[in-house]
């Protein structure tokens, strides 16, 4: 069988940095091909070449045996290539409505876009949303008002329009719940049976094991491996980064956790939620997991001064914590790595150095004048300690891979003393080696502080946490210590339905 799309000897440089060096892969109809690599390996660069974002490269692309050269994403789209990018807001227009985003391809078509009719667009949007099971009560709502998962699903639903030849999904489940992920996987199986070629990019290796017919590994811009089903995680890791120590490390402070640092007393996060009562002790990393919509991010926003609770009390070292603003929370030693990196954590036009120092500029100033040498020394240290892969601290953060951008965001909040560190989905788009580096750095630096990690992915929580808590529709279901984990019980707590609550 001949490939539907081939990339042959693709090379691409950015200044002195060679992102890709002679990479070749073939993609076949009716096959899911997993494209795997560490952060900064070159995966996103290859994807952007295939979808027409970069036209300056060496090598060639062939579609059904014919050589093509794309000069824009529209050229790629016309050839039947659909791409859902890792950065969610690259796939939607936040200021446009849900209906307009779903029907965006038609709106951009000169033949139909000029004959805009709101009702027609809404009807067409519902047709596009239906295969992914998407329903909205208000189709005219701006996409900016939606959660990350809804924005991601809109982008995926639109990519399925028009029977694509090649569907490229870059970290498609990074913001999806388990239920939404299962729905996506069912759709991918259906598309595979219909003969669509699918390129699937994910750092969640269990997804690769489940889905992939073949897997290609990129390492430092080179093709490292080409694996066939059954694709095993250990083979992928070895090809991605070599051997790494994945043995769980005991947290030296966890066994003898200190005094209560943060306490929630009858805290009601959202109207209708039950009260939360919780104690977090000095020196421990606590993992809070649950489906998207469980209330994790809302709790983090309350602790960080971004919203007010319905009622209840928060105590920090025994004193009431009522941050009136984000700056107030930071002054009290509460730091947050937010879930939505692209919109709420990085400024793409700023350098790595500027993004790192942004919340703490006063500490780099003397007599209201910035001391750049001190600022740069601190940035160099954090980039080195967390292994951020970049051309230097003066490189624009937008030039980094998604995983390396995430490492910069985490590093920002670790460079200054904190009392409570909130990490909301900190490992989105982060490869296994980088995740391991971040976790080890946290453990090495933690003394009498508290780290609260909020993530929907249970495997990520189990890798990092000393204590695991489950939140379900605002209700604290239970907790387990890392030395006595019952995964079945955790999954049961996570998946308990509202009906089961009523009969409990």
pLDDT value, residue 252:
44
Q: Which domain holds residue 237?
A: 5-241
Band the pLDDT of 112: cuts 50, 70, 90: low
Q: Within 13 Å, how many C-alpha atoms sit on residue 43's CB side?
A: 33
**Residue 185 falls inside a structural domain:** yes
b (16+ CB within 10 A) / e for 229-255: eebeeebbbebbbeeeeeeeeebebbe
Q: Which of 401, 416, 431 is the last residue of a domain?
A: 416
Give the pLDDT band of residue 251 (cuts 50, 70, 90). very low
Q: How far apart are CA 268 and CA 451, in angstroms?
A: 21
* CATH number of domain containing 30: 3.40.50.300
Confidence (pTM) = 0.71
pLDDT > 90? residue 1: no
- pLDDT tens digit sequence for 460-479: 898 899 999 999 888 999 99
311 and 446 fall within a common domain: yes
162 with 16, same domain: the answer is yes
Residue 231 has pLDDT above 50, yes or no: yes
pLDDT of residue 253: 42
Residue 338 belongs to a domain = no
What pLDDT is recorded for position 111? 67
Q: Give the pLDDT mean for 374-388.
A: 89
- Give the range with max mean pLDDT: 85-99, 260-274, 333-347: 260-274
Domain count, the chain: 3
pLDDT of residue 434: 80
Indicate whether 410 and 500 sit together in one domain: no
- The pLDDT assigned to 265 comes to 95
Task: Give the domain-ending residue among 218, 241, 264.
Answer: 241
pLDDT digits (tens, 9 = 90+) for 170-202: 888 877 777 788 888 988 998 899 899 999 998
The answer to whether the CB of 231 falls within 8 A of the CB of 256 is: no
| Domain co-membership, 325 together with 370 | no
Q: Check whether residue 176 and residue 40 sit in a common domain.
A: yes
pLDDT in tens, 271-299: 889 999 999 999 999 999 987 778 898 99
Q: How confident is the model at residue 238 (pLDDT cuts 50, 70, 90)?
A: confident
pLDDT at 31: 95
Domain limit, last residue, from 188, 207, 241? 241
Q: What is the mean pLDDT of the chain?
A: 86
In this model, does residue 114 exceed pLDDT 70? no
- Are 203 and 92 part of one and the same domain? yes
Q: Which residues contact 3 (CB under 8 A, 6 or more apart)?
A: 26, 27, 28, 62, 197
Give a yes or no: residue 467 inside a domain. yes
Question: Within this chain, do residues 308 and 253 fall inside the same structural domain, yes or no?
Answer: yes
Residues listed for the chain: 504
Q: Which residue has the higher pLDDT, 225 or 28?
A: 28
Distance (Å, whole) CA 303 – CA 320: 11
* pLDDT band for position 113 (cuts 50, 70, 90): low
Q: Are residues 227 and 374 in the same domain?
A: no
| Interacting residues of 486 by C-beta distance below 8 A, sequence separation 6+ | 480
Run of H or E residues at 36: strand 31-37
Q: Is 339 contained in some domain?
A: no
CA atoms of 347 and 366, how far apart (whole Å): 25
For residues 109 and 21, membership in a common domain is answered with yes
Residue 250 lies in a domain: yes
Q: What is the pLDDT of residue 64?
A: 92
Same domain, 309 and 395: no
Asked if 202 and 273 sit in the same domain, the reply is no
Share of the chain above pLDDT 90, in %: 37
- State both tokens at 345: 């954590």
With pLDDT > 70 as the criterion, what percentage of the chain qualifies?
94
User: Does 290 share its domain with 433?
Assistant: yes
Kindly tell me if the per-residue pLDDT of 68 is higher than 90.
Answer: yes
């Amino acid at each position: 069988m001949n490939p539907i799309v081939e990339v042959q000897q693709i090379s691409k440089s950015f200044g002195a940095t060679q992102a890709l060096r002679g990479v070749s892969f073939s993609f076949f109809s009716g096959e899911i091909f997993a494209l795997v690599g560490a952060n900064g390996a070159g995966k996103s660069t290859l994807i952007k070449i295939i979808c027409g974002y970069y036209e300056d490269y060496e090598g060639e692309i062939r579609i059904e045996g014919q050589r093509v050269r794309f000069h824009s994403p529209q050229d790629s789209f016309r050839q039947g290539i659909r791409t859902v990018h890792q950065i969610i807001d690259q796939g939607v227009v936040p200021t446009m409505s849900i209906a307009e985003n779903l029907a965006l391809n038609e709106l951009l078509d000169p033949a139909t876009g000029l004959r805009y009719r709101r009702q027609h667009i809404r009807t067409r949007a519902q047709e596009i949303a239906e295969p992914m099971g998407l329903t909205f009560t208000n189709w005219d709502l701006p996409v900016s008002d939606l959660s990350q998962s809804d924005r991601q699903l809109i982008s995926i639903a639109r990519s399925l329009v028009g029977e694509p030849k090649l569907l490229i999904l870059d970290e498609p489940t990074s913001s999806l719940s388990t239920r939404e992920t299962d729905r996506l996987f069912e759709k991918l199986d259906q598309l595979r049976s219909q003969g669509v070629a699918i390129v699937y990019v994910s750092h969640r290796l269990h997804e690769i094991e489940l889905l992939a017919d073949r897997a290609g590994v990129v390492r430092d811009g080179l093709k490292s491996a080409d694996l066939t089903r059954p694709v095993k995680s250990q083979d992928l890791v070895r090809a991605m980064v070599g051997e790494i120590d994945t043995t769980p490390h005991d947290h030296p402070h966890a066994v003898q956790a200190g005094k209560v640092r943060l306490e929630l007393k009858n805290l009601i996060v959202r109207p209708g939620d039950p009260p939360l009562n919780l104690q977090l002790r000095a020196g421990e990393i606590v993992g809070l997991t649950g489906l998207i919509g469980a209330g994790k991010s809302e709790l983090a926003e309350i602790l960080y001064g971004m919203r007010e609770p319905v009622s209840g009390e928060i105590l920090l070292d025994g004193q009431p914590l009522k941050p009136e603003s984000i700056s107030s929370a930071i002054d009290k030693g509460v730091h947050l790595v937010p879930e939505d990196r692209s919109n709420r954590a990085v400024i793409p036009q700023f350098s790595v150095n500027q993004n790192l120092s942004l919340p703490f500029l006063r500490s780099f100033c003397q007599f209201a004048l910035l001391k750049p040498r001190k600022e740069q020394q601190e940035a160099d240290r954090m980039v080195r300690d967390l292994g951020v892969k970049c051309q230097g601290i003066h490189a624009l953060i937008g030039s980094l891979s998604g995983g390396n951008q995430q490492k910069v965001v985490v590093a920002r909040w670790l460079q200054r003393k904190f009392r409570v560190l909130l990490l909301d989905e900190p490992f989105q788009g982060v490869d296994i080696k980088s995740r391991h580096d971040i976790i080890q750095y946290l453990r090495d630096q933690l003394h009498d502080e508290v780290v609260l990690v909020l993530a929907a992915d249970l495997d990520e929580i189990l890798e990092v946490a000393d204590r695991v808590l489950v939140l379900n529709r605002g209700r604290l279901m239970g907790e387990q210590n890392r030395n006595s984990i019952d995964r079945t019980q955790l999954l049961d707590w996570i998946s308990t339905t509202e009906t089961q609550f009523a009969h409990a």
